[in-house]
């Protein structure tokens, strides 16, 4: 990523307050049909939308996907199954590096912690939640809201074994929608390519295009130990994309901040993003330093390093966008426009009040405890899975002693089944990595909160971060799934009786973290929800329905077209072909070709389309989203954005912002000539 070039990236015109061409991550119950018709001549009908929605999959690990066969075959990105491949690997058998292929279904292997979810209905529950909130503020608001949500969720899903209910907060509190899901908690790995084929070019090519990466993989949904029979699935269409053709991306964008006020954006620019990036930089360095020259650490640390580098690069782009004067001016102009329009309507002005000032006050309050909250609660453990297990076990036990309506949202009845699965599924733990993550967390906490802070003294006692991390990791038994299961099921009695040092550590230190969480909810979440809810009312009053909510890791659809772009006089073609792999390869990591791909050079059709770009508006969480043609068939899976897309967290630029897609044709080429998988091809082609 050229940090210099980024400086000037955001000069193009964009960011009207109402969405413009190709902008928007729309909910399925508010698809902008008229707008799409106006731009592209036609738009999907309700049947199309229903079918696509019923084929779209959310992967609870943070990705999107689609069902592509009646036997529950699921198409997603390789980087979405990478944690699974790594969990299934051993020092003798590295499925990340070598790829994975189940030659028959008996060889398909369960992905620990993974659940797949398909939306079955969306219901507006705004009135019910807002009535519960009434005129409450701060902590009372948050508690009333969460109680109402817990109530709706537990009443709405009666069969927790196969259903999940989730109330989603949209427009920061302007709308509440109940999403009902059919869930599948047995998800198995079917196929993954070699890592170097899927992520050729590594971090240097991440968020770049032209790109050469077969970042596609397959999972399968199981129930009762058998593949499911899917009522809906997308038609697999391995044809190449056509320049200019309309494309729909259906998936779960994770989060955007396009409706943030200037105060919130300033906080991100000056506090949250810089501090996060500093942590990620040191984290990355510690991983690289530890893995260097150690093959087993290189294998077992790879997925964490990928995640850290990916986060770093994405946030760096966001930060640079906020530091870009032109970009910042446009965001400021948007806010000003809304203020002016509200002021022009005296009745509206009275109704809306001054939400900006309220948010500014909340941001100032947040700033005063951001450090403690970040280090003791939000980032506690920084990546340590053992710590996450311990804290979830302790909190689940504590919360389950309370009525549903009074629990922290993560521990209400509707959330427990997935939590239990994530806690009790077996997966490998790498002690060196756990120790590194914990030591880093403790050391950074001490650095930022200072060595003499009482909360730091409680955390460390007389031990150094390294000694404490070593003692906790060496002593804990939480790497054993059976022990975690016993603790989860044993509740508070089991937790209090536990002599596990990590459980004891969390019992000792968690009250402070929980207090900070409550403080965040009372002093930031509550006031911001109240204010953003009124801002949403103002936007609806002024812009009508021509607006979409910020991303929430729930199902959205974006429309766009296959299209390259021109930047600083250079025009980028919309697609790459397989030949590019061989032209770009240097032999040196990360531009080395993996063995099977290299060996297949003679067989591969080098002119076949590999990756392509579209104008769809997406963000992190959309990875694996099907890219769907007008006829409803799938022609690719989104796996990245270009470098210009990173400012998309705050505003969409139709001129430069692009989605990067691996084509279905590329997957076919791989399954035919690189990783031959005739059974899989047959299944994909079945009518």
CA torsion 154→160→162→167, rounded to 10°? 30
* Closest to its own copies by CB, 159 or 292: 292
Q: In whole angstroms, what is the distance from residue 433 CA to residue 189 CA?
A: 24
Decide if residue 598 touches its own copies (CB under 8 A). Answer: no
Q: In whole angstroms, what is the distance from residue 331 CA to residue 532 CA?
A: 16
CB of 467 to its own copies, least distance (A): 6
Decide if residue 436 touches its own copies (CB under 8 A). Answer: yes
Exactly one of 287, 478, 597, 656 binds its own copies (CB under 8 A); that residue is 287
Q: What is the 3-state secondary structure (H, E, C) of 212-226?
A: CCCCCEEEEEEECCE
CA torsion 257→32→641→336, rounded to 10°? -30
Exactly one of 92, 499, 589, 607 binds its own copies (CB under 8 A); that residue is 589
Are residues 313 and 644 in contact, defined by beta-carbon separation less than 8 angstroms? no
Exactly one of 48, 369, 543, 582 binds its own copies (CB under 8 A); that residue is 369
Decide if residue 205 touches its own copies (CB under 8 A). Answer: yes
Count of residues near its own copies by CB under 8 A: 57
Q: What number of other Cβ atoms are within 10 A of residue 557's Cβ?
A: 26
Decide if residue 568 touches its own copies (CB under 8 A). Answer: no
CB of 103 to its own copies, least distance (A): 34
> Does residue 337 sit in helix, strand or coil?
helix
Say how far residue 528 (Cα) sits from the centre of its chain: 23
* Closest to its own copies by CB, 115 or 320: 320
Q: Is the bond preceding residue 590 a cis peptide, omega within 30 degrees?
A: yes
Q: Which of 398, 379, 372 lies closest to 512, judged by CA?
A: 372
CB of 323 to its own copies, least distance (A): 5
Q: In whole angstroms, what is the distance from residue 294 CA to residue 628 CA?
A: 43
Q: What number of other Cβ atoms are within 10 A of residue 29's Cβ?
A: 12
Decide if residue 641 touches its own copies (CB under 8 A). Answer: no
Q: What number of other Cβ atoms are within 10 A of residue 506's Cβ?
A: 23
CB of 286 to its own copies, least distance (A): 4
* Closest to its own copies by CB, 67 or 436: 436
Applying the rule CB under 8 A, the residues between 236 and 275 that interact with its own copies are: 270-271, 274-275
Decide if residue 484 touches its own copies (CB under 8 A). Answer: no
DSSP state of 29: G
Exactly one of 151, 203, 215, 546 binds its own copies (CB under 8 A); that residue is 203
Decide if residue 545 touches its own copies (CB under 8 A). Answer: no
CB of 635 to its own copies, least distance (A): 27
Q: In whole angstroms, what is the distance from residue 306 CA to residue 198 CA?
A: 13
Per CB under 8 A, which region of 189-197, 201-209, 483-491, 614-622 contacts its own copies?
201-209
Exactly one of 368, 401, 496, 566 binds its own copies (CB under 8 A); that residue is 368
Exactly one of 76, 235, 261, 372 binds its own copies (CB under 8 A); that residue is 372
Say how far residue 679 (Cα) sits from the centre of its chain: 31
Exactly one of 71, 139, 335, 463 binds its own copies (CB under 8 A); that residue is 463
Backbone angles phi, psi at 67, to 5 degrees: -80, 130
Per CB under 8 A, which region of 211-219, 236-244, 289-297, 657-665 contacts its own copies?
289-297
Q: In whole angstroms, what is the distance from residue 228 CA to residue 244 CA?
A: 36
Instruction: Assign residue 394 a region (left: φ > 0; alpha: ψ between -120 and 50; beta: otherwise).
Output: alpha
Decide if residue 377 touches its own copies (CB under 8 A). Answer: no
Residues in the site for its own copies, rule: CB under 8 A? 1-5, 7, 201, 203-205, 208, 270-271, 274-275, 277-279, 281-292, 319, 323, 367-372, 436, 446-451, 453, 462-464, 466-467, 586-591
């Amino acid at each position: 990523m050229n940090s210099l070039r980024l400086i000037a990236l955001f000069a193009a015109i964009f960011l009207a307050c109402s969405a413009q061409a190709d902008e928007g991550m729309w909910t399925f119950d508010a698809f902008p049909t008229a707008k799409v018709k106006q731009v592209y001549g036609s738009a999907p009908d309700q049947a199309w939308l229903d079918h696509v929605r019923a084929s779209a999959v959310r992967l609870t690990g943070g990705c999107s996907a689609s069902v592509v066969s009646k036997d529950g075959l699921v198409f997603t990105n390789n980087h979405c199954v990478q944690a699974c491949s790594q969990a299934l690997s051993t020092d003798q058998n590295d499925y990340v590096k070598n790829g994975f292929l189940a030659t028959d279904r008996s060889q398909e292997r369960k992905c620990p912690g993974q659940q797949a979810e398909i939306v079955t209905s969306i219901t507006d529950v705004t009135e019910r939640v807002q009535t519960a909130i009434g005129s409450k503020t701060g902590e009372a608001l948050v508690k009333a809201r969460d109680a109402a949500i817990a109530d709706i969720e537990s009443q709405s899903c009666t069969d927790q074994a196969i259903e999940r209910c989730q109330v989603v907060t949209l427009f920061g509190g302007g709308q509440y929608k109940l999403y009902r899901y059919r869930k599948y908690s047995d998800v198995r790995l079917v196929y993954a390519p070699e890592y170097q084929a899927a992520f050729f070019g590594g971090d240097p090519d991440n968020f770049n295009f032209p790109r050469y990466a077969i970042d596609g993989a397959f999972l399968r949904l199981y129930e009762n130990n058998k593949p499911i029979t899917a009522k809906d699935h997308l038609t697999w269409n391995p044809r190449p994309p056509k320049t200019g053709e309309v494309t729909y991306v259906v998936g779960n964008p994770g989060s955007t901040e396009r409706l943030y006020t200037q105060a919130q954006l300033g906080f991100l620019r000056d506090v949250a993003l810089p501090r996060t990036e500093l942590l990620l930089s040191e984290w990355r360095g510690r991983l690289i330093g530890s893995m260097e020259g150690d093959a087993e650490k290189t294998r077992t640390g790879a997925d964490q390093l990928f995640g850290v580098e990916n986060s770093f690069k994405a946030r760096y782009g966001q930060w640079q966008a906020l530091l870009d004067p032109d970009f910042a001016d446009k965001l400021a102009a948007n806010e000003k426009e809304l203020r002016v329009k509200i002021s022009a309507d005296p009745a509206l002005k009275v109704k809306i009040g001054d939400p900006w000032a309220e948010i500014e006050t909340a941001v100032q309050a947040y700033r005063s405890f951001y450090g403690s909250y970040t280090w003791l609660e939000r980032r506690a453990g920084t990546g340590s899975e053992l710590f996450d297990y311990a804290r979830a076990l302790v909190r689940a036990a504590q919360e389950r002693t309370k009525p549903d309506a009074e629990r922290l949202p993560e521990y209400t009845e509707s959330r427990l089944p997935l939590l239990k699965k994530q806690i009790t599924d077996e997966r490998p733990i790498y002690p060196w990595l756990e120790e590194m993550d914990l030591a880093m967390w403790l050391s950074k906490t001490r650095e930022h909160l200072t060595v003499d802070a009482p909360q730091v003294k409680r955390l460390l006692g007389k031990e150094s971060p390294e000694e404490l991390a070593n003692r906790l990791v060496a002593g804990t038994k939480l790497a054993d799934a059976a022990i975690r299961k016993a603790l989860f099921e044993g509740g508070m009695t089991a937790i209090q009786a536990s002599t596990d040092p990590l459980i004891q550590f969390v019992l000792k230190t968690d009250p402070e973290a929980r207090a900070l969480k409550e403080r965040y909810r009372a002093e930031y979440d509550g006031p911001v929800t109240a204010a953003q809810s009124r801002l949403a009312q103002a936007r609806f009053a002024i812009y009508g329905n021509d607006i979409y909510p910020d991303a929430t890791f729930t199902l959205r659809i974006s429309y766009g077209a296959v299209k390259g772009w021109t930047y600083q006089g250079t025009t980028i073609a919309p697609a790459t072909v397989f030949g590019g792999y061989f032209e770009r390869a240097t032999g040196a990591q990360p531009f080395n070709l993996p063995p099977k791909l290299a060996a297949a050079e003679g067989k591969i059709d080098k002119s076949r389309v590999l990756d392509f770009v579209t104008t769809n508006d997406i963000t992190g969480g959309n990875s694996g989203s099907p890219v769907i043609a007008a006829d409803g068939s799938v022609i690719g899976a989104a796996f990245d954005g270009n470098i210009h897309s990173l400012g998309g967290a705050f505003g969409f630029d139709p001129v430069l912002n692009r989605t990067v897609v691996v084509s279905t044709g590329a997957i076919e080429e791989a399954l035919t000539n690189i990783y031959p998988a005739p059974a899989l091809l047959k299944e994909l082609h079945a009518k």
